[in-house]
């Protein structure tokens, strides 16, 4: 993902300059530098200067005052600890999703962000919001009447393998519904314009159907590879903590299947309103 962000940044007519690359895994540094060199050969863009290469985050923090934008594309379980170290700097931070992988991390990050010492402007990279098909769907929502149901279905290939297999370690991952499906939970909020009634979410998930023959035997707990998650949404004026919170009659359903590679559509979204049902 760091390399993907580099490709985006270097497409902005050099309005943004990459000054530092920091990663303890040297093969990733090598790939990133090669990518920058390829982009710098663009005939219509000025050449770029070589970034400073660092392998220790603490060394990078010495240059914090010179950084306007920090992109965090580390393994997911490191996002919150990294933000806790960088949040008191006056900079913009783009952090890959998910920003936290556990309730504990969420609570630590929320508490830190409420302190006066927190100065950073944080943006979580929920890139599915910017898919052209999503933009088209949002533009068509007024035609369906009052929105009542949203169904998102993902039928896809198995979990990708990551450096050090951190996404196979349940001490370092929020599992599939956090690592992958946070995109879809965010889309539910975007499409409905409402917050989820967290206390009323229901989930049914299964492990090991697709992975039992493919994964390393040392993985004691197989990855979630199929699930249904249903959720109602709150009315705009309702509070998640108030006793008499009112719930919207809009509901959402996520269907996940991680052993359906080759399906016609990897992702599908269906919205149903009082006037029209629209796939």
Read off the CATH number of the domain in which 40 is found: 3.40.50.720
Non-local (6+) Cβ contacts of 44 within 8 A are none
- Residue 98 tokens read as 């998910």
Residues 67 and 148 in one domain: no
The dihedral sign for the CA sequence 135, 268, 101, 202: positive
Contact 101, 77 (CB under 8 A): yes
**Domain termination site, one of 91, 109, 127:** 127
What pLDDT score does 242 carry? 47
Domain of 59?
2-127
Residues 157 and 252 in one domain: yes
What pLDDT score does 243 carry? 47
What pLDDT score does 211 carry? 57
Please name the residue that has the structure tokens 């060394």.
59
Contact 219, 161 (CB under 8 A): no
Name the phi and psi angles at 112, rounded to 5.
-65, -40
Low-confidence ranges of the chain (pLDDT < 70): 13-14, 44-47, 210-221, 236-246, 262-263
Q: Which of 205, 235, 240, 236 is nearest to 223 (CA)?
A: 205
Residues 142 and 244 in one domain: yes
Residues 121 and 169 in one domain: no
Number of domains in the chain: 2
Residues 9 and 89 in one domain: yes
The whole-model pTM stands at 0.86
- Distance of alpha carbon 189 from alpha carbon 184, whole angstroms: 9
């Amino acid at each position: 993902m760091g390399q993907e962000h580099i490709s985006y940044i270097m497409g902005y007519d050099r309005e943004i300059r990459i000054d530092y690359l920091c990663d303890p895994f040297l093969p990733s540094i090598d790939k990133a530098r090669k990518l920058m060199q390829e982009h710098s050969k663009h005939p219509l863009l000025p050449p770029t200067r070589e970034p400073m290469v660092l392998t220790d985050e603490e060394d990078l923090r010495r240059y914090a005052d010179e950084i306007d934008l920090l992109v965090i594309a580390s393994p997911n379980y490191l996002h919150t600890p990294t933000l806790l170290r960088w949040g008191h700097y006056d900079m913009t931070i783009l952090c890959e999703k998910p920003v936290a992988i556990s309730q504990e991390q969420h609570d630590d990050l929320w508490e830190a962000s409420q302190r006066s010492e927190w100065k950073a402007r944080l943006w979580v990279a929920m890139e599915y919001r910017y898919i052209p098909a999503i933009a088209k769907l949002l533009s068509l929502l007024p035609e369906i009447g009052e929105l009542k149901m949203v169904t998102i279905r993902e039928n896809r290939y198995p979990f990708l393998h990551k450096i050090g297999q951190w996404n196979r370690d349940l001490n370092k991952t929020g599992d599939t519904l956090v690592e992958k499906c946070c995109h879809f939970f965010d889309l539910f909020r975007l499409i409905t314009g409402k917050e989820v009634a967290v206390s009323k979410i229901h989930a049914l998930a299964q492990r090991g159907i697709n992975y039992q023959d493919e994964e390393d035997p040392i993985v004691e707990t197989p990855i979630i590879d199929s699930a249904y998650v249903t959720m109602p949404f709150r009315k705009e004026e309702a509070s998640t903590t108030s006793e008499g919170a009112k719930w919207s009659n809009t509901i959402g359903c996520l269907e996940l299947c991680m052993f359906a590679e080759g399906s016609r559509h990897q992702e599908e979204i269906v919205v149903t309103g009082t006037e029209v049902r629209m796939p």
